[in-house]
Amino acid sequence: MLKIIRKYQLIILVIGGSLLMFVFMFQPIIGKLSPDQRKTTVAKLADGTTFNGFDMQRANFDLSVLKRVYPRLLASIEQGGLGLEPGTEESTERHWLLLSKQANDAGLIGDAGEGRTWIPVLAQREAASFIQEQMQQGLITSQQQAIDSMAAMTTQVENALKRNVSLATGMMRGIDENEVYRTLATARGIERLYRVFSTLPAYSDLGAMLAAKSRYDSIAVDAALVKADLFTDSIPLPNEDQLQAFFDQYKADAPTDNDYRIGYTQPARVKLGWLTLSKQAIETAIVIDRVELNKIWRTDHALPEGTRKYPGDFAGERLSIEAAYRDQRAFDILYEADKIIRSKVLQATRGFSKNDNFFVLPDDWNTRRPTLESLAQSVVDGLLEQLNVTIPLPAVQIHSDRLLNSNEISALPGFGTSVYRIGSRTLRTVLIPQASQSQEVAALLTIQPSVPIVNPAAEDAQGNRYYAIVYETIPAGPAGSIDDAGRDKVLKDYRTIKSYELLSQNLSSFITQATTTNDLAPAIDAALALGEGGIQRPGVARNLLVQSENIARGSLALFVDPGLNTPEFREAIINAASDIHELTPPETVTQSPIIVAIPIPSIKGIGLARVIAPRPMTSEDFTTNLTQILNQESQNEIRNALIETEASPFSLDSMSERYGYTRVKKRVDETDEPEAPSDDSEDSESAES
């Protein structure tokens, strides 16, 4: 065989070379003839509309933009969002495409300018919600303070949204601000779609009047809220057995599971640390070679005019060339640093068997494993040896002494805002605690305690990379002990509940005190007498207007304590005044005082009220509030209809059925199973070297 090869060696080389030349020459043509998978139809609708890979990629980009610019839009409709399907990424993209189509077909989507003008509207809406919450908490007590705070907060939120737009612009090459604003314009069109739907019902004059009467007829009262936490210091400290029994009663509850709104079930939590590769620190450490910059300029200047990246002279273009040089050089350094870190972890785990994608770690792993500090030093040493570059020692932060939930991780600067990019999908670092209980998270990223997460690294909007390690994982569930739930919190809850029970037991006494004098002051005094003194006296809100679904502040109160504005308190007052004719004057009511005192467990306090007189809605009030009345009644009618049908016309299932959505084939970036990270060949080569 060898003799034959030697004999015909020249002929074999000529034929082989010819074949290689043929492949080389015709490769571009073959590539052009091959169909672009992104143009292949992925799904179709009954009306003939088709969605291809490009459409799915655009939907993914749009959703990423919304998440970066204004995440509230991804929430439910009740929370101020668009109500997008919160399931898998594919279902959310499909929901977005169908909603966009319906809004576009209805002519409700504008151009990029619509997105720009929406930013101030969103800022004002967000600020108004915040100011309302501050008022309800009593942190804002005057109208002028509310106006000033509103103006300042609106400006602050608007600037933040505009910064988010700038950050979103850099998420994909070739994307400018107009594309980001065009996405926002689409979201605005979908919101308009909901608003158009909510105004469909129509009412006759009589129907509107009856609706207004039911909603806006009021009972004028003086009211006070006496909260149990005013008396907690008067409650004796429990012994350990009493506190443990109280804790055992609520340890498996969430705050929504009982009337007292207390509970000690804990979210998933982790102890973790991470190493930060700061792109800015690396760029700063780069030594600029003037000769290299001049070489870049000369190479660019040799290009035909109109195609040059740096058309001016070298002195005028130097800063731009230097910025681009630093950026590219930093990218190369980050790439090499990433290889060094992966190589160290790969070497440490080589030869380990796996069980369900997790390494079977040896007993002495904690003494052998690569620490974040050792990885940081390896990066510095490796870059100096391989690239002759000296960078500052990467920062290492370790939180092994405290458990962090998702909310606490999101508040961490840098790391808390970073994401893992796995194929076409992303996973926020705030979801790390949920990995042990979420199949969706676990399918995207393998998170094994005490093994550094390096494939891939997390990255933030500034290009910084984060290599994390989870030291301990605590799944969501009941608190393990009083100290786990927070001893101070449990103790405070115990004493508050005991104070509330003490107040509730004396309601009849409070009613008697107030009825005798037709005044709430004696009842408040009697309540305060249950404590040890030095208790701040609750104020009386004058002339509140109690309606079936709200309590308005009237003309004599600055605001309504949200603790009073509860269904049980409103219902008790309306029932107590149900026998009074709507035109009865206050003088007549005072002849037989009507006092209301009821426990309100959700705020752990009691509500006191003295009925003044009915306040039926006037014709002037009806005319002034007609638009608001019709809008509210329309929304209620639609909401009730949706409850009866148990399906929203804008849910993913409803829209898919209505449009006849049919999946044709998988996307080009989609596999049968969610993509999971694995040791790739590059890592292996790096380890071997």
CB atoms within 10 A of CB 291: 7
Q: Give the model's pLDDT for residue 289.
A: 79
Q: Give the model's pLDDT for residue 674.
A: 37
Write out the two tokens for 621.
Answer: 């009030």
For residues 468 and 273, the answer to whether their CB atoms sit within 8 Å is: yes
Separation of alpha carbons 667 and 60, rounded Å: 12
H helices present in 577-625, as ranges: 586-591, 619-624
Q: Give the model's pLDDT for residue 676.
A: 37
Q: Give the model's pLDDT for residue 465.
A: 94
Q: What is the pTM of this model?
A: 0.56
For residues 553 and 526, the answer to whether their CB atoms sit within 8 Å is: no
For the stretch 74-95, pLDDT in tens is 888 777 788 887 766 678 888 9
Write out the two tokens for 202.
Answer: 């129509």
For the stretch 243-286, pLDDT in tens is 999 999 999 998 888 888 899 998 899 999 999 999 888 988 88
Q: Give the model's pLDDT for residue 16.
A: 63
For the stretch 606-640, pLDDT in tens is 999 999 999 887 777 666 666 666 666 666 665 55
Which residue in the block uniquely carries the two structure tokens 């039926």? 616
Provide φ and ψ at 457, rounded to 5°: -85, 155
Domain ranges of the chain: 2-34, 42-198+647-663, 218-238+487-616, 269-475
Environment class of residue 131 by beta-carbon count within 10 Å: exposed (0-12), middle (13-18) or buried (19+)? buried
Separation of alpha carbons 223 and 565, rounded Å: 11
Q: Which is nearest to 281 in space by CA: 163, 165, 383?
A: 383
Residue spans of the chain under pLDDT 70: 1-39, 87-89, 136-139, 141, 170-174, 198-212, 533-534, 621-647, 665-689
Q: Name beta bridge partners: 672.
A: none
